[in-house]
Chains A and B, each alone.
Chain A
């Protein structure tokens, strides 16, 4: 199994600012995913981040708003840009090893935008 850490665990930010969330995995993984969970809602995939290529964004999410970096096989960042209160959510990093169906989740970053 993979152990995932995220920083920060929570933050309160002012509208119009940006926040970068870090995701660190204790082993090399092929695929990393970023999910958003708005209050009282299910998880929605933002994008898939593969090392060495541009992230693939889901419908409704754009790179200018959620730029993602994946510099190596154990690390990724998600930036939430020009934040508004609607961005208040839990952001979760998730990984797979590409060889099984198992998917592991980080502890999440709880973001509140005021």
Chain B
């Protein structure tokens, strides 16, 4: 069963505007980690932000913030002040245990318009 769901195949945002990329997840574990990665056309996976299931505050890393709503099982990525270089694929991922592998959502292709 799909554990990570990204419902937006593609998103457009105007340069300098904020954008939210959606991610919902499914797990029965109490302890897990949620991640967002950026993948430009070069193919590398660039780590953006991490949220632990026990973290009470939403994670932030520069222009990236994670809107974590545990009861709703959602972990949306918010990018503020979009830049042209933010155009890429964005993947939401989850690890359910430190000994487990990471599972990925289908991804969202973000295009920033000038």
Number of interface residues of B (CB under 8 A): 21
- Mark contacts of B96-110 with chain A using CB atoms, 8 A cut-off: 1 yes-contact digit, 0 otherwise: 001101111111000
Residues of A within 8 A of B47 (CB): 102, 104-105
Given contacts A33-B102, A42-B105, A94-B102, contact A105 B44 (CB under 8 A): yes
A33: which B residues are within 8 A, CB to CB?
101-102
Bound Cα distance from A110 to B41, whole angstroms: 12
Residues of A within 8 A of B103 (CB): 45
Tell me whether B104 and A42 are in contact (CB under 8 A). yes
Residues of B near any A CB (own CB < 8 A):
32-33, 35, 37, 43-45, 47, 50, 52, 91, 95, 98-99, 101-107
Other than A98-B99, A102-B50, give 13 A-B pairs with Cβ distance below 8 A.
A31-B99, A43-B45, A43-B91, A48-B101, A90-B43, A94-B102, A100-B98, A101-B52, A102-B47, A103-B95, A104-B47, A107-B43, A108-B43
